Structure 1
């Protein structure tokens, strides 16, 4: 029997992930060939620095300075896009690959969050694959799990820890008692956070991933603009201590949920029960939880970033292409994706944690309670550690279920009280 022709791959971007893909393909070459029935070989690459040691011999491959030109190479079957960014060279490279009949594997969540529906349509019109397992949660098979493993379910909700940098920072704050800025500086020294950490700590990275997960989970067009995004800059060690006292952990979560008003998409800090799968996921690990009508809850936990885990996801997509497996990009043909009907954050209904810094004097708590009462917000619990008459003290309250819009109105009233010295700090409680 004649051996199948090798799958010829071009890699755009040879940074951490690109180098990991090269090493995995070389180290596991025999295993991969046994599993897909053909060799997977890298025949072209595009990177800025040709002299850098990537840990593997690249003397025989074709080098391109422009990744979008590499994508037109007639001797390629697949282009692996690892450049990053929602536009520019990454987008041009993917579009050129489709225009010239090449499949695409990408780890680029920003590109998919902003242009996923259009790129899916471009791929499917040509009978090509747009694969992106590595774009969400690194080595965790979140996309395949939702799109293929849970294909027989209507998904009610998907939520999870989608950014390892934030999870590491929040874990370190809890275990060491240090404040956000100090732990962030250490995370940058260790390489867990970028020199400019804004995309991570302000929730943008997680929001990109959530937008993609929403498209897969609910069969809708990816709509990044509909994601409500908050980061973790305002979380203090005091909040983490109070969370522990109340039986919670603080996590930056991405949540996509089907509601009567539409699909809500939100990224923000949450308090979750300590004993929940999300509450138990510490450090740089990611976790994705899907809730389907027949399967109920499925939990996936693993490393969400790094050379090895992300390369593992890229190569899994390459194996599917080598085997000739084809699945619609977002689970249903791109032309049949429904328009996303967004449920705004102010319709969210749930419980809330609020921390206040107030002057310890008679009548303050009554004023706070009146502000809540006037907006039909019911207080569940109230915590104050000790007394310091005439001085500033922290007080914490939690509420029963209430609508976000009412909670925000109550916070505005509370923040306007003379005895409240700082803007109220609010964290949503999710009882998963």
Structure 2
């Protein structure tokens, strides 16, 4: 994973984590590589000050609550968080490696054996999430990290409790990534079922083995039309013949026609065994094929210098001399679709930008920081981030939270208390 140096506007510490560099960014926030006081690496996600409002806080707090709830070997674990801080942040397990989108862009599609292994691994992980009463809702190649211990799923910012009537988005809106979104989600149907993640997993596996997604269009309205049109079939060009039946079923237009995740695991196992391998062997081959060379975190820190101690002509340290080390130095997508309310004269509007095409996503590394551009909803270029100052604190030394943050957190807790099934 490429790590970019901090900019002059970036904080150098959050929640006790020392920030070492940038590892990703999006429309709502920035992700940093951080290190705990004990040396534990972490991915620290921070919401941009320019987009911190009541709705953003609610969605961010939801992600924290989701990450507190889920567990599993294939889920990036939550380490710490403070969604009520002036600059909301969360820290998760740091996974050294490329996401699936960048890996395919750099190294090409995976062979069918490794795609089947990826499918079995992710289907089993999603089944664990579903058993905990949750849906991911935004699985895509960029949310699958290929680490040294195998793939892991990240970014539960859009996850919801299955069958929940509580919504943290405005009425008549659809939030997600349209290129991996099933028709029922694109149409704004509620409640959603586990079949939405089966479809998204099918899109991820299609991308893994072919290098493209089910539907592609330069215009977001055309893309939504393709996804929701029952007469338009997904593009399976480039898919190995043995994977076509499975991906066809997973990308079925009707939710009830898609296989359950347990069936996906069984079919992936059958594909692996048909090639003369055991599932564990295929998993090891997948990890060996996709694991990136480890980037030592020490390379982000200044080189240590030997302490200078005055010595006597005899070569012994002078009395009272102490070795003092030198002062340390350091150099340094989501789319929302607004559905039309009832009435013939209303047309959809869009907020934010569509998911980039795979080749564009692969070419753009996290180290790049494009110049400010007008946003889709305001038409104005975002203002540069102010230079960070020390966090505001109370007399007791705890971070100061705004009244709106406390109200938002309390409402969120009440909503989940009323809707959670456990």
What TM-score do the two structures reach when normalised by structure 2?
0.25
- Write 1 or 2 for the structure with the bigger share of strand: 1
Higher relative contact order (CA 8 A, sep 6+): 2
What TM-score do the two structures reach when normalised by structure 1?
0.25
